């Protein structure tokens, strides 16, 4: 799993199909299913009904700014996720080392000099916010292209 996938799974834990993240989501989806099994199964199963519409619906409901602000308030240290890719990664519990950021830059096809970490970090933050928005996250307009 790539670093971008890890970032997205931290922001959209139940929306991305991954064994570790689906396990907690399944028990939450099952309690309503016994009381209304015919209705809960079609809306809960992405392959039933409009497959392309089902995944974006839960993702779109994620207010990324609120989610990250709440995490930042509970972090115990000042993390400025709005401008710092390092702080964003720390806030999400991910490795924020230069090596990890260079790997993320590779994943996102960064063409600049990875030794210029300041420029790379600014670019990475913008690209990550764009990717979060592309995946249905409600990202503040000033944080994306």
Write out pLDDT tens, residues 39-65. Answer: 434 444 444 444 444 444 443 468 999
Report residue 69 as tokens.
Answer: 């602000």
Residue 52, φ and ψ in degrees, nearest 5 = -80, -20
Condensed to tens digits (0 to 9), the pLDDT of residues 68-92 reads 999 999 998 999 999 999 999 999 9
Integer Cα distance of 21 and 140 in angstroms: 26
Q: How many other C-beta atoms are found inside a 10 Å radius of the C-beta of residue 29? A: 15
**Per-residue tokens: 53:** 């519409």
What are the phi and psi torsion angles at 125 (to 5°)? -60, -45
pTM score, whole prediction: 0.69
Q: Name residue, tokens 């939450």.
A: 28
């Amino acid at each position: 799993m790539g670093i971008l996938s890890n970032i997205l799974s931290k922001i959209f834990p139940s929306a991305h199909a991954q064994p570790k993240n689906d396990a907690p989501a399944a028990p939450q989806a099952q309690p309503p299913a016994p009381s209304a099994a015919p209705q809960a199964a079609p809306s809960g199963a992405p392959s039933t009904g409009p497959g392309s519409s089902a995944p974006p619906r839960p993702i779109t409901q994620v207010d990324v700014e609120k989610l990250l602000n709440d995490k930042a308030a509970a972090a115990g240290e000042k993390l400025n996720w709005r401008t710092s890719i390092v702080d964003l990664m720390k806030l999400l519990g991910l490795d924020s080392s230069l090596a990890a950021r260079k790997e993320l830059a590779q994943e996102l096809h960064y063409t600049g000099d990875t030794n210029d970490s300041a420029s790379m970090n600014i670019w990475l933050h913008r690209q990550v916010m764009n990717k979060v928005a592309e995946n249905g996250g409600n990202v503040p307009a000033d944080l994306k292209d």
